[in-house]
Chain A
């Protein structure tokens, strides 16, 4: 009996040792994550998977949304195939650790660009350009007669925990001296449940998320988003800080989407545009952008025609927006601040020279 026990014990210990040493990570020299992605031939992209319009796992098991298309654009530029993405659905508290520990290459998950997250002394990330200008809002039942923050005095507000949302809520209400009770849930689905069951007078989240949640209500027209904006939430993709090659590649892929919209280059006409530029040597700026001249891509460690690869795969920024958040979609968020700068919005790309 004792001998059997001992044998089992030894077996278990040896097995455990093998497991642990197998998991012990290698100390690699500092190579850019971009090289790693190219070597692997696949991008590990962190998304939410639960926000319609941004990243949502459809019934067919396919991820779709604006955040997902950013992943796809990156994969098209990095490894030449937008389908070579492995998505990792992450909760808000998991996301930074997943990025820092190397579990994912790139985070494209409704993440607000803030000082603490960007800085070396904080989460130590590098953010790319803003892909969606959002702001926190409050959703209330229209019949409740709540028109401004003051009407919420002493009321319960449903909020998802583990995001800047909670802090913004407190900052705003504390500054205005309005008392309230936060009812905190782990994810948006439960926030919606609590709100619809009447536990709270209002629910708060980024306006994009409120709009996307409302699209699933039985009676969306009976709920209004208050005009008060509790925060500015510039949502941007991010990679680990201190890796300029990877950060630059991410940044200029997003900027290429915006530049392509400015130039009217779409998924449908990109090949015609390339032909036209190849035939016409006087189109210098367009030739540089499309990678015919100038070798801009190789400066980033990408193929020279990375812009063409990206636009072929996802279309330009405007096309991505319309596909997931446009008026024809169930989420339907007016483009507002996310229009091009030339149309009065905030989206602009620095020169591709």
Chain B
């Protein structure tokens, strides 16, 4: 009989992920069941149109009325409902900036979770940033029915950089600060309320050969939810750097990862683990406190990783990119949970944390407490079951090497990491 090697995927816990691709589709992938659910594409929103290529997306997954903001290539920003894909508002970015959208496309989009105090509850606030550095914060009224370009709320626009191209922008956990960086633009942090620049990075010194690597940031993320002072940035010259505003203007830690540009950086909930994806499809996790590689995520990932998302509750990350696959990984074991083929080059992935694996609930007002409990239960279940799987391989190692305990432990970790890489 032909010898085949089926990839054993343990399946994922109940998750719901939204992916965005170059044809402008939004695809919803769901895995149901407590353990071992196989994720499937359940919905697809949008019509194929390459001018509607999704550039950035952001979700506000509050319980009563979640919203999803999507920035398209043709300059439109659409606010959708992540539950059924209904278009709530669509605004054009082209008009107010007065610039061509061709070379001034949106690179950063953030949907604010907290309400701006002076506005009614049915509004949402958006931060957008374009390649040329036009950042703007605007509030939009979300009407009941989808009406084109309602822009009744206030909007403030400022310019982040004089020259160069912005490639990444991020808003911190408390949504008071934002960072911007890009090609020829050092990472800079802005206070969103006052629209003032707080801090700019300084490029690292020339190396021992006197060669200066030009500034080119490709991705960035804040390290901690409540701390806007520490953030991690990935560069085109395959470096990952940790910046600390309170310490110095040059990177605190900087290390190399493989040989192609870092395309995605995402932080973990614990505040010291980061996930790094690069242009040739390598995904790894690092401990940013020491700059040590914790391990690589191996799973036949053959195309550039465009986006990594961390599930807010479960220990799962999702990654997607040019190889048209959405992959779910366990963060503890670094094992591939499952891979879904989504047919298009993907640009973004986002988790919907309100999903609990049950059939969709109509009015979730009184079920909310149940939901949260469910999620907790799932998480507990994970922690009980998964470690067994995880420990299998290292245990064997450990058994054979247990003659000299304690001291070997550190070495072992290193070895495992080496093996993984």
Tell whether A and B belong to one assembly.
no
